[in-house]
Structure 1
């Protein structure tokens, strides 16, 4: 584990795990799930939670496998946040015409193939090819999760806006207004959505970016481990 000083501290006995954007890279996701299980066996703690930061699907070869891996993880309590890709997929599967084209253009073809569905088939039939457990899981994904001094969210937040007033679109899609901000958000925001240029996690005083481009050439899928006043990283 590559430990570094964290910008915030958790209570003794608490541990948080977070995994960045998997984008259909199911083998890498399962490898990091094994790393969490191994860590919990080697270093038991009183309370642990795993958070997937969204965009489990699209672009990569096995979106279905990523959802099954998240659904089947049972080493500690876990949850998956909604990413913009899950959001677009749900709209497309519900028959929203504008979302169908958008989904296909941003990686939806690969996701459909992982469910054995052709993007050339009538759009009205797509949902029937996606298992109900996967549709329900995506539909139930939260937009954010607060744990101690950390706020987990897919894309980020609008600086200066209280959490309860944040727009849904910002939580799912914001980039520069959040990424360029040095403001104190009242918490450390742990996010994905925007791949880091060097394929390493980005650690700043007010935010931590775990999207290290898993689906792109040279990219990695990143797991962060938060405990006490430190954070460790594992990549697959």
Structure 2
């Protein structure tokens, strides 16, 4: 179904509002957009009674958007890998915003950005090496903020300035930059949980349940809010490749 001018205007605006700032040549009835913020390309349409449609160029992004709408059943553009149908513009806004966040942070994207940013930086002195490390740590924090949408994975605290990017396998213990900058080697946490996680007083089970060390007495648990069941949301299979390391090497298990 051909797009009416009003639908074209709506789709152009929703694309621009969510970071797809470069409109490409149309493909049939699909509007096509790219972004200067990330490598993702998106195709947008409005067909029949399906509401609004979005198809994506990255399989890992499309696969992580299952909470938004339904999978597209009809043919998608040849170079798209998958897509979703959503019922209204607000949902389309959320879908595209989340797609950009994921495209910027999913495995290897942070590493590629880091390598570009530090390629010309000197790495001879300790001060220069610390500067390079700081670049990576800042990128890692920005990636976790995007992945968890600026909310603590456990408490839901939504004050970005207070949130901490907690490495599961610490920066200094990682063998490669790929590990250090793997978005799944981290959890976004409120300050008190970050400190407890870093020092091994808590860890995370593969299903997200927060495990509290017996080293902490009842009073400390109450003070820290660890006396009730807690769970980290949003964990993916990638996190589960690092969590056993934290449970085995950092967590203060009962002796």
TM-score between the two structures when normalised by the length of structure 1? 0.27
Larger relative contact order (Cα-Cα within 8 Å, sequence gap ≥ 6): 1
Larger radius of gyration: 2
